[in-house]
Structure 1
Amino acid sequence: MLICPQCKFENPKANKFCQNCGTSLTHLVCHECGTEVPLNAQSCDNCGAECGQIWLAIITKEGSGDWELGSWQDDQDDLPTLPLSTEYTVPLAARPVLKAGSYIDKEQRYQLLEPLPISEENTTQTEFCVRVLDCQPYQISPIEAILENQDTGLLTSAGREIKIPRLAKAYVQLQSKGQAEIPVIHDAWQEGNTQILLIEDRSDWPRLIELWKEETTSSLQILHWFYQMTQLWALLEPMKCRQSLLELSNLRLDEDQTLALARLYGEVEAQVNAETEDETLSLTEQPFSVKVLGEIWQELFRQSQRTQFGAVLQIFEDLKLGKIQMIAQLRSRLEAIATELEASPIPSFSPTANQHPTAPTIIQLENERDEDSAGKSDDLPTIVLSMQLSSLEDVGRTDVGRQRQHNEDYFGIDTKVEKLEFPKNRVFQARGLYILCDGMGGHAGGEIASELAVNTVRQYFQELWTTDQRPTEENMREAVYLANEAIYQLNQQDARSGVGRMGTTLVILLIQDTEVVVAHVGDSRLYRLTRKRGLEQITVDHEVGQREIARGVEPSIAYARPDAYQLTQALGPRDESAIYPDVEFFDINEDSLLILASDGLSDNDLLETHWNTHLLPLLSSGANLERGVNELIDLANQKNGHDNITAILVRAKVRPNMESQK
């Protein structure tokens, strides 16, 4: 089947356009110039931008036998066709060269972008890595289907069982846990003694060693990478893939300078090598004890020619002497050093002096419970890192839905961004005001109430919020009360009564750099999405069901009431004595997507059900927020559609504050 890239609708393979939304299933649009490009083209003919879906193919031979990999060519190619099957295996010397343009599968889906260097001279080599073009990128692969069904065993397709090759199992298990540090697996299969595995191509991601060498990279940043390596160690240990951390060329950085892996390596018994362009580090003694992490870290210092600082030197010595034997011990030591560094105003151990804000942000790093930490306290300390905003993007959209005749939702966005950049210093400051209202009551009353509330709140903060200080709880409540008063007085003036009195829900989000405050009345919501914590609902609806739960009633009983979804608070129908807005403060400690939603979007657990597919990809800087909010509205119309639908998406990216002190 073909999965539409726009609406995710499943189409028969023969379809040229999506049956649901009409999107082309044979062409895509170049992200640079907008030209239509065939799916099986690597680059755009108009501007030359790479548009095709590229995967890294890992081709591995088991045992000492000959390679059992054939080559498939286009019909116009003069080279012979060899099926990938043991019954047609021919000696290596009799094979055609696997040229660029050959296919590595019988379905002629994956095309080599470079020659596969299998020859008589390297017949003893057991693995090759090559880039391949996916000529049918909208066709779901068996591995993707398995992951979609959260099944890591067997998948039945067309009357046959598809087994996951051994090499692919670790990728499948880690991907099912949502680990962004591990490359995405796309496809895998086995023919005879040859396994083929297709994963995300991270060959152009920067190497850790390159940034390690930069003078502007501080000791605190390096300590943060150490900590991430201990987290990955615990993650990879059950998979027997810890060697992935011991190959220096395999340690990469994503767009947020977070440690990631280019691929997975299985553990070997005899020797572990950390290869670079010029040298190889041999780690032969107890290769998979925690001790080898210290050896790898020392090698990073050596090759970068950076000076090792005192507290880390002591860790290296204790690892060597066996005083640190468990990953939990190593984490605790790193956490203690980070706290000490953060408290030091001008550290003397770094090539450059580092600036730390007077009010540091606390970043809570995940503390997975390891087997070797049994019996220890669950309350491991946090690493104190000063985080600063690196970008702030937003988009909003409202839609009438499929049943309503008019739209009573209204929203407002007001942002201010300042960016100063110098060779060794970059300052990014931003503040954003985001308001969403869902109006109700009488003919045209809902539209009036929601718009009036947004404009009142926006005007209040335009006049009040003139400094770089985040507004207080008192400020937030005053803004809510002013909006309520404006609608209430209009109701009084027009002598509206009963259901004719107009009103609105309200959710306000304010961002001042990495500081956030939210206030709300009613059932319009704020959600927060991060890679580590997933989707969280920040606000609690002001409705009868939630009120009963707060009183101790079981949720199933509370929501069995016929009035369970009736609002207990709204702006406008009554004076401020009946309004009790909730106000909450929090900090942005990791890349976050903040979602303001009216109930047309949040009803029926829509976001809780589909956040993995429709929200999580939007955390990446390369994802288009405009397209994302459109797809979200389309999804709400498909699954809900009974009410107006409004969404505001705010993407906040942060990084450790490592700027030079002036």
Structure 2
Amino acid sequence: MIYCPNHSCQAANPEANQFCQVCRTPLPHRYLWAVGAGVPSLAVGNLLGDRYQHQQSQIFLDTQPAFPPTAEGQLPAWVIPYLHLSIYPRHMPRPYSLQPVALEDGSVHSVLLLEEAAIASYAQKPDHAPQLLPALVEAWTTATALVQLDWLFQIAQLWQPFHAERVLQTLMMPALLRVEGASLRILELQPDTETQSSAAALVGLGDVWQPFADQAQSAIAPFLNQLCQQLKQGVFHSPEQLVDCLNQAIQQSSQRQQLTFDWATYTDQGPTRQRNEDACYPASGTVSQQTVTSLAAGRQPPHKLVVVCDGIGGHQGGDVASKLAIATVEKALTSFLAQATVETPAAIALEIEKAICQANDEIARRNDSEGRQAQERMGTTIVLALIYGNDLYLAHVGDSRAYHVSPLSCRQLTLDDDVAAREARLGYSLYRQALYQPGTGSLVQALGMTSSKSLYPTVQRWVLDEDAVFLLCSDGLSDNDQVETFWATELLPVLVGQRQVAAAGQRLVELANTRNGHDNVTVGLIRVRVAQQPSTAVEPTLATPQPLSDRLGTETTAPLNSPSSTATALSAPVQSAAPRSRQSMGCLVGSLLALSAIAGTLVLLLGPALRRPTVSGETTAFENADFAAVATGLSRWPPSLNSAPAVDLSVGRFVQISQGRSASPAEAALILQNEPGNSVNASLPASANPASIEGIIPAGGIFQVVGTQVAADQTEWVRLRVCSIPSGATLGDRPSESGSLPGQLPPPAPAELLNLLQPGQEGWIQVSAIASGVQPLSNLGVSQRGVCIN
């Protein structure tokens, strides 16, 4: 029995019927992948927690998808990396529910159920049994050279964040690497068995990748063989160098590729709103097509921009904000891309970010000039797609979304900038559990609310090497999981050529108005068709890494993504570089701006209480060229915690401290004190001695060490100045959707967000309280330095 989403009726035999037998509502079939020590004790066919039906080995079906899932008890440490790494939605499954399982020996273990897992659910054919997506080793030999490079490129991008979460072993075990077309999907995480540097671990990657090089397409086989030799010899000193080499190989391999784009944009006021505060670019009703072919070296490739904005402020000017944002972004990017030189991915991503920040400041200045404060300020969300040559760049702020449609799934590529997502990615709660708490739907950032110094757009890059459909939309469509419900009937036909993008876009607006109807709705739909051409041979010399100092510019801006958002999200740094010379820049930093680079650094910062322990025992390595199956029975229960290395806290250093969770007064929190060496313990609740407390450290905030001192009891103290904090760490000016009753405010934000230190404040803290939860930072950009700019 599966419950109908409208909560009022049920439908039997859901596997054989796509619709509720009573009201004909489409039934979401949410298949979940189970991990944990209790999984082997669960018999196929039985229910877990009276709700989750065991379909086959480790695959469960949620029989009550219309009701919020539950998480029993405190989240165990081994679950936390899944939450931190959920900032990579293209690759990672997301924790859905945590269920206790009693074993025969009387012990109780947790089973974690993962949604968005590497499962082919065949939504368009619900009578088909679910099965795992093919392993990378199974799909390798039949893939094109460009897709093969793209898969390895995605692994390289995930290297640093996986190392930070101590699950790097996952990327060394091909059985855990699944593929959906050109997208790499992680089946589950495997804890590391030993602690080693990221660079040292790269040596072993050469052996893991050697079988792939031996069976690679002829156009790239010499390059990959050379790359593996360089890895095994320890020539690569950082994952960024590996990303750089693979990125250049992708650019060379795709020179003969031909792409055709079809797009359409529509916006509608909706049945209940008095005005349309949404806006789109190109103008609503635009339908067009463009073919991109290979160009001579040095010529500027064509580009196309699609933008969706959802205004905030109602009669206060949400429609003005959305239109102003589009006009500013379009003007800035068009001017930049009209230059004669071919731009690097780094430069393009940086300009997208700068254009969004410019739009933010334009709206903020308008608010300031009109004396608007707090809830009176107008603002807007934004999501955009920029096609440039063979790449597609996605960027967003707020809760307007981007989706990717493949033959097997529709995946959300952006993570909403709301409190629920922030709580999940910081490791405090499962997302769907947080989603149903009061106030967690509040946005933590939107354009126009504050200065761009506190704005952190998410920017991702997508290599276009397969047919795909991308959907941009406001929450008038995405609310209540409407995209996930109807993608198979409305968007899949576009992908396979059975429906035009114009007809599909109009149909999505109609569905939004009839199924939701509470808001304006805007959609931008892009269909990508790839004409397969012989791949250009990649020069083996590209496998030689270049020193990072030769490829990086003099200044690196690494703004923090909103803790409510991502890729991209979780207060994580976006590594975008301002190149000293665009011609010499190459593609290194651009690769850092791709989806898998977004937020990669912050996962290093989350404190030892949230870190993944190590495990003892052996795991089977993938060693032979015959793509032998990797042994199962992975150890998932690490026994001990790793100690954190010492960090330089000398005066002038910039650091990011993650252990300072924005906790309520009833919970322990890291606090700054007005004097060193007083009687207040730095780990006590902030309410312990209010007279000595400066405030609670905001998680993900960036600080500068401005003083050091040894107290009378010989304890070491440092004085920290708050330089910048993640957008959303204060909700005093939080944006709210329009349409509320006069005088009605949105639900209050969680109490833990209200007493945090703000930029410019200073205080003392004991070194021992923060040493294990500190990450040193360098090459900071303007937005990260904030008030510490000088």
The TM-score normalised by the length of structure 2 is: 0.36
The TM-score normalised by the length of structure 1 is: 0.43
> Which has the greater radius of gyration?
1
